[in-house]
Amino acid sequence: MVSDHGQSAMMERPVPPDISVLMPIHNGRRHLEASLQSLLDQTLPSWELVAVLDRCTDDTRKILEAAKDDRIRITETSTPGIVAALNHGLQLCRADFVARLDADDICEPFRLAVQYAYLRKRPNVAAVGSSATLIDDDGRVVGRRIVVSGRARVIRRLLWRNALIHPSVTFRRDIVMSLGGYNLACQWAEDYELWLRLARAMDVDNIQVPLLRYRVHPAQISRGFRLRELPFRTLAAARLRAAKRAGISPLGAMARHVVWYVAQARRI
């Protein structure tokens, strides 16, 4: 029998949301309101936003507080950088599923509902991303990025290059935490290295329907890396382990890694 005190404690214990949205922010004022509105417009109402402020010197906090929504939780990280911010926020997420979102991107209204339903139906899938509509700095549509889908196709593509759009992905928090979260040694490829580690343990997949409006502009972090900062050996090791599960030989995995590295060099 549960005592009155026990019943009271159970009633007061907060029910975790269906999805935690993890958003690291460094001076996000320019597009943050539009990104927040896309969460407020979600058809799945049971979400929380874990907004991790990373050295913000603009009005980011004021914008978040002005929303006056109890689902928005604001925290700061003492360690600079997106990877530290991601891991700090991941510790605070309360839901079983974590959706990534950047402060300059926009969710389609049904994004959280679709990915939540997908992962609930497929317990062997650790993470699911989606295609994206590309928008410019002013929100105008400038194209689409269509991703491959189907678990076998996604892992084959992952062995060549990143097959998931980071801010479109929703993943299982417990699996990512059990693998150590994001790797601090992979500052410029933290998402890709994580997907490779996930693919060794479980399936990863994509939904081809665009669930995200992905902003393309000069200030994006991914465009600012230097080749020497890419974690060549760490990514090579992750690729080798994922390739083993996919039935690809070590020689084949390393050949794919060299091709990927050359492709990154050409981007600079």
pLDDT by residue for the chain (268 residues), tens digit each?
A: 434 444 444 346 689 999 999 999 999 999 999 999 999 999 999 999 999 999 999 999 999 999 999 999 999 998 999 999 999 999 999 999 999 999 999 999 999 999 999 999 999 999 999 999 999 999 999 999 999 999 999 999 999 999 999 999 999 999 999 999 999 988 888 999 999 999 999 999 999 999 999 999 765 544 455 556 677 889 899 999 999 989 999 999 989 988 888 887 776 5
DSSP 163-181: -S-GGG-EEEHHHHHHTTS
Q: What is the pLDDT of residue 260?
A: 87
Please tell me the predicted confidence (pLDDT) of residue 14: 80
The C-alpha atoms of residue 110 and residue 107 are separated, in whole angstroms, by 8
Give me the torsion for CA of 215, 218, 221, 227, rounded to 10°. Answer: 130
**How many whole angstroms separate alpha carbon 212 and alpha carbon 120?**
20
- Euclidean distance between CA atoms 6 and 152, whole angstroms: 48
Token code pair at residue 78: 């003492």
C-alpha Rg value of the chain to the nearest Å: 19
Q: Do strands 170-172 and 125-135 pair parallel, antiparallel, or not at all (unpaired)?
A: antiparallel
CATH number, domain 4-267: 3.90.550.10
In the chain, domain spans: 4-267
